[in-house]
Amino acid sequence: MREVENHPIEIGFIQNGIKTLIVGTFPPKEVYESDDHFFFYSSTRNHFWNRMENIFPEWNKLKKTKTKCAEISPEQNKIDKENFSKEKKIGFLDIFSKISRMKNSTKDNDLICVENIVENGKLDKVIIENESLRRVCCTYKLAFEILKCKIEQNKLSIIEDSISANGQKLIYKIGKREIEIYLLYPATRSRDKNETKDTQYKKLLFS
């Protein structure tokens, strides 16, 4: 029987006044198990916090590795990331609350969904409780496709949009509100130029 993993930050990081919700998939087990102060996108292979430092040079101590920001404790690094997120009005929540893995791998293709935030109601709860929230940005294609598939189809519109990494944005109608859903360029290494990623991230996450 495959092990079931619960998300290490199952409730996400949601603060009053958020405008944008960033939705990923599920963190690597070896990353969150080895860090008592784990925060979203903490893997050294993930460049999300590099992107943030490029966009906001004054926040130049967000990405911590063995050589970069070595003098900063993991606890302080988590606090810095939380403070940045509060100031910039972004929140974090991954698409999977519980998963199994086909094999010991960090690849999204090897994740088996046990519970997701659409079907367990967490996504709607975050949207309803945060009236300032107007946009969801997915950091991985799998997260975008699950939202596209699992949200009630009569509440969802699909629109062509060149700024989204796949050329599509979703409009999720919930109550009297319309929430935009976009796909970001990968925060991991990809063929997309860093300048292209920075431009897109700045526009979608912070405008």
- pLDDT tens profile 12-40: 999 999 999 999 999 999 999 998 999 99
Start-to-end Cα distance in the chain: 46
| Structure token pair of residue 65 | 């590795």
Give the pLDDT mean for 99-110: 86
Question: What per-residue confidence (pLDDT) applies to 173?
Answer: 98
| pTM score over 0.85 | yes
Q: How far apart are CA 128 and CA 123, in angstroms?
A: 9
**What pLDDT shows up at residue 120?**
97
> Could you tell me the residue ranges of all domains in the chain?
5-206
Report pLDDT digits (tens) over 171-201.
999 999 999 999 999 988 777 788 999 999 9
CB atoms within 10 A of CB 160: 8
- How many Å apart are CA 108 and CA 26, to the nearest integer? 8
Burial class (CB in 10 A: 0-12, 13-18, 19+), 152: exposed
pLDDT above 80 for 118: yes
| Cα gap 183→163, rounded to integer Å | 9
- List pLDDT tens digits, range 139-180: 999 999 999 999 999 999 999 999 999 999 999 999 999 999
90 strand-pairing partners: 20
pLDDT at position 105 over 80: no
Does residue 106 surpass a pLDDT of 90? no
Would you state the pLDDT for residue 190? 75
Q: Which numeric CATH code is attached to 5-206?
A: 3.40.470.10
pLDDT-derived band at 107, boundaries 50, 70, 90: confident
Residue 167 and residue 174: Cα distance in Å, rounded? 23
Residue 1 has pLDDT above 80, yes or no: no
Per-residue pLDDT, 147? 98
Quick: pLDDT tens for 49-95. 999 999 999 999 999 998 999 999 999 999 999 999 999 999 999 99
Residue type, 176: K
For the residues 126-132, what does the mean pLDDT come to?
98
